Amino acid sequence: MKHYEMDALSNLKLLKVLFLLSFGYTLIVAECTLSAQKDSISSRHISSLDPLKDKIFTYNFKDEKDREVYKYTLSICSEIKPGTNIAVTQEDLVDHKTKTIGKIDQASIKRGSNWIMLTLKGGDPYHTHCGHSPRQAHVMIMCDKYHLARNFTVLYEENKEESESCFYLMELQSSVACSNVDQGLSTGSIVLIVFACVIAVYLAVGMLYKRCVHGKKGMEQVPNIGFWKTCGSLQADGCDWLCRCQESGFDSSRPYRGIADDQLDDDADDENLLPM
C-alpha cells in the first residue's frame, strides 16, 4: 500500500494528536466490553463511549485521480460483524480484499478534557514492511457538543518500511468526548452571593423589628437609618483626608470670619477688603 500524502490541514491535525499523546494523561488499558472491566476508572472511561456502540462509520479514501481506492469501516467498542471481534477494517476497492486493522479486545484509551484517543490493536500484520508488526488504529474522538457522531475521516497512515510502529490515524467528532465536569461558581461569585444574602437578611429583619416594635414607617424603618444618611459624608471626608495632599491656602488655626454687610455697600470703598 502506498503512503498517503497529507495536506496542510492533515499535518496540523497530526501534530495536534501527537502533542496530546505526549503530555500529561495516564494510559488506561482495557477491553472495550464492560464485562471485562475491573478498574472503576477504566469502566467509567469506556462507558462514556456507550452512545456510540453498535454504530458503523465508513470513509472512502480517494487517490490523486479522485478514484475511491480504499473503504474504511469503524465500529466503536462493538464488532463490525458478530463473532469476529473486529472493530476496524480496510477494504481494497480494486481487488476487494479486506484487512483487519484493530480488534475490540485489544483497546486502550487516553482521555483529555475535550478529546478521547481510542487505540485498537491486533490487526493483520504487514507483509513486507513495518517489521511485520500488526496493524493498529488511533481513533481521535474530538468534542462536538452539537452532534453525537459525524465526520469520520482517515487522516494519515504511518507505514514506512523502516518503522516498527505503523498505525492508521483516524478522526471522529462526537459529543461523548466533551467534558461534563461542572465548573461551578467561582470564589468571587460565591462571596458576592453570600454578601447579597447577608444584606437582604439585615434589611428584612431590621425593618420588621423597627416596624413591629417601634412602630416606624417609611424610611424610618430602615435599620441604622442615621448612619446610612451620614455614610456618604463620612466617605467624602475620608477621601478628602486621604487624597488631598496639597496644603490649603489658609491658616487652619485662625477661625473663619465672614464679611460684614456694611463692607458690601456699593458706595463704600472696597480697599478695606484687600489684604494688608
Q: Which residues pair with 99 in a beta bridge?
A: 90
pLDDT at 28: 38
- Which fold does the domain 8-177 belong to in CATH? Cation-dependent Mannose-6-phosphate Receptor; Chain A (2.70.130)
C-alpha cell belonging to residue 122: 491486533
Residue-level pLDDT at 169: 94
Alpha-carbon distance of 207 to 214, in angstroms, equals 10
CA distance 135 to 106: 12
Q: Which residues of 193-202 are buried (b: 16+ CB within 10 A; e: fewer)?
A: eeeeeeeeee
The C-alpha atoms of residue 26 and residue 20 are separated, in whole angstroms, by: 11
pLDDT at 38: 45
Q: What is residue 35's predicted lDDT score, i.e. its pLDDT?
A: 34
Distance CA(215)–CA(191), nearest Å, equals: 34
* Res 260: pLDDT: 56
pTM: 0.55
Residue whose C-alpha is closest to residue 112's, from 185, 54, 52, 25:
25
The helix/strand/coil state of 174 is: strand
Q: Where along the chain do its domains lie? A: 8-177, 186-238
Strand ranges (DSSP E) for the chain? 28-29, 56-62, 68-75, 86-92, 98-111, 115-122, 137-143, 150-158, 167-174
DSSP letters, 28-70, are: EE--SSGGG---HHHHHHHHTTGGGTT-EEEEEEE-TTS-EEE
Per-residue pLDDT of the chain (276 residues; tens, 9 = 90+): 444 444 555 555 555 555 554 443 433 333 464 333 445 555 566 778 888 988 999 999 988 888 889 999 999 888 898 888 899 999 999 888 999 999 988 888 888 888 999 999 999 999 888 888 999 999 999 999 899 999 999 998 888 877 778 999 999 999 999 876 445 667 888 889 999 999 899 888 888 888 888 788 888 888 887 777 777 777 777 787 777 765 555 455 555 555 555 555 555 555 655 555
CA 82 – CA 102 distance, rounded (Å): 15
